Amino acid sequence: MKLLVVGSPIAHSLSPAMMTAALARADIDGTYRAIEVTAPEWDERLATWFGEGVHGMNVTVPHKERALRSALRASDTAREIGAANTLARSDGGWIAHNTDGPGFVDWIERLGARDAARREALVLGAGGGARAVVWALRRLGCARIRVSARTAERAAALEGVHAESWGSNAPAGGLVVQCTPLGLRPHDPPAASVDQLRGAALAIDLVYPDTPFLAAARDAGVRSAGGMGLLVAQAVRSFEIWTGIAPDPAVLEEAARREAGRRSAGH
């Protein structure tokens, strides 16, 4: 079984460590590789992978909306979200799925943050990750969803949300969810300041393992959670789509944290 994770940048990804562990635990003979792919390369590379017999792939920034458009057909969830983070092979082409949205719901439940999620949320960014978070917040019964993006038109394009300018303040007692790529590269600035984050019940960053945004949340005295939780939650669902087997989340998280520790130690 050939599996991939594709995006740009991709060197930071912990998915190969997780999925390799999941394949081994399930006794499946397979590989899972990370491949850097830019937007101009997308169509050609996607066709090449299909011809090579790739069974499935995870898709990360900046290709999630592109992945949905490229698929032969899509799950209801992927269509509703308007983005895909998982592609699975079929006889005629790729089938698009989105495990980010359901995975975010799973993650909020594990964090014990359902009450905060129901109150009010500020979502930073309006790309594929943000679309999945907005979908999940609706499923969780969020009373008011605000979206702040550097491009106001993108925020306004999300239905049923309050589009706001970049730099909005956190909702008192609610959630702030950081969905931009800020934090993936060294020296990225925080997506929100300490002052903007004060008063929130929980600040979540989809980027992992640690970011300037999470540091700002800690400085503001706000409970924070990095993207490792979502990484694991969406991976469990992706692996089940490809194999029919639901892996143990603890196995995936242990592999991801071990790899993160290895990199921090400079190995």
Per-residue confidence at 267, pLDDT binned at 50, 70, 90?
low
Of 10, 42, 64, 122, the active-site residue reads: 64
The reply to whether 102-226 shares the fold of 2-98+235-264 is: yes
Q: Among candidates 3, 46, 59, which has minimal Cα distance to 28?
A: 3
Q: How far, in Å, CA of 253 to CA of 221, rounded? A: 26
pLDDT in tens, 10-19: 999 999 999 9
Other C-beta atoms lying within 10 Å of the C-beta of residue 143: 12
Range 78-85 average pLDDT: 96
> Count of residues for the chain?
267
- Going from N- to C-terminal start, the domains of the chain cover 2-98+235-264, 102-226
CATH architecture of 102-226: 3-Layer(aba) Sandwich (3.40)
pLDDT over 90 (residue 148): yes
- Quick check: is 64 catalytic? yes
Q: Which two tokens stand for residue 129?
A: 């990750």
Could you tell me which residues are beta bridge partners of residue 58? 5, 86
Q: How far, in Å, CA of 251 to CA of 123, rounded? A: 30
pLDDT in tens, 96-132: 999 999 999 999 999 999 999 999 999 999 999 999 9
pLDDT over 80 (residue 209): no
Whether the CB-CB separation of 71 and 42 falls below 8 Å is answered with no
pLDDT over 80 (residue 42): yes
CATH top class, domain 2-98+235-264: alpha beta
Q: At 34, is the secondary structure helix, strand, or coil? A: strand
Buried/exposed code over 104-123 (b: 16+ C-beta within 10 A; e: otherwise):
bbbbbeebebeebbbbbbbb
